[in-house]
């Protein structure tokens, strides 16, 4: 998302009526997306604390793991962040699903391995 330094973990699942509809936490935003076909997708965007990324990089790249428990960052979506993220994700997913459908017709299947930050 332009002008947004927040890191997100994005999950996209085909909507099923038996999916848990628990209210989202403050650090997550859940919405449904129907790109035009019959399918409905449930999109879950969770904020990832920068401190978690730093800990991960220290551990995996440098083998450093701090024993002291760092205080958790409190993250919550503002109304503007929700709207901005939802707008950009819907555009991205529409483009992705459209190109995937077109490529499947042509015999080529694209792959997305990471969709952490747009």
Residue 47 has a CB neighbour count (10 Å cut-off) of: 21
Average pLDDT of the residues of the chain: 78
Residue 52 CB burial class (10 angstroms; 0-12, 13-18, ≥19) = middle
- Contact at 8 Å (CB) between 116 and 8? yes
**Most distant CA pair in the chain, distance:** 53
Residue 70 confidence (pLDDT): 66
pTM for the complete prediction? Answer: 0.67
Which is higher by pLDDT, 30 or 68?
Answer: 30
Give CA–CA dist 100/118, Å, rounded: 18
pLDDT in tens, 62-98: 898 876 666 667 788 889 989 999 999 999 888 888 8
Question: What percent of the chain stands above pLDDT 90?
Answer: 14
Residue 112 confidence (pLDDT): 45
Which is higher by pLDDT, 112 or 19?
Answer: 19
The DSSP line for 9-63 is EEEEEE--TTS--PPPPTTEEEEEE--SSS--EEEEEEEE-HHHHHHHHHHHHH-
**Mean pLDDT calculated for residue range 20-27:** 66
- Using pLDDT thresholds of 50, 70 and 90, give the confidence band for residue 22: low
């Amino acid at each position: 998302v332009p002008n947004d330094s927040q890191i997100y973990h994005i999950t996209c699942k085909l909507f099923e009526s038996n999916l848990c509809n628990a209210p989202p936490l403050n650090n997550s935003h859940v919405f449904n997306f129907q790109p035009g076909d019959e399918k409905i997708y449930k999109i879950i965007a969770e904020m990832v604390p920068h401190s978690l990324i730093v800990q991960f990089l220290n551990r995996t790249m440098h083998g450093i793991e701090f024993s002291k428990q760092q205080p958790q960052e409190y993250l919550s979506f503002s109304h503007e962040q929700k709207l901005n993220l939802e707008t950009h994700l819907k555009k991205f997913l529409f483009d992705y699903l459209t190109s995937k459908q077109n490529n499947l017709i042509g015999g080529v299947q694209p792959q997305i391995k990471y969709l952490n930050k747009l």
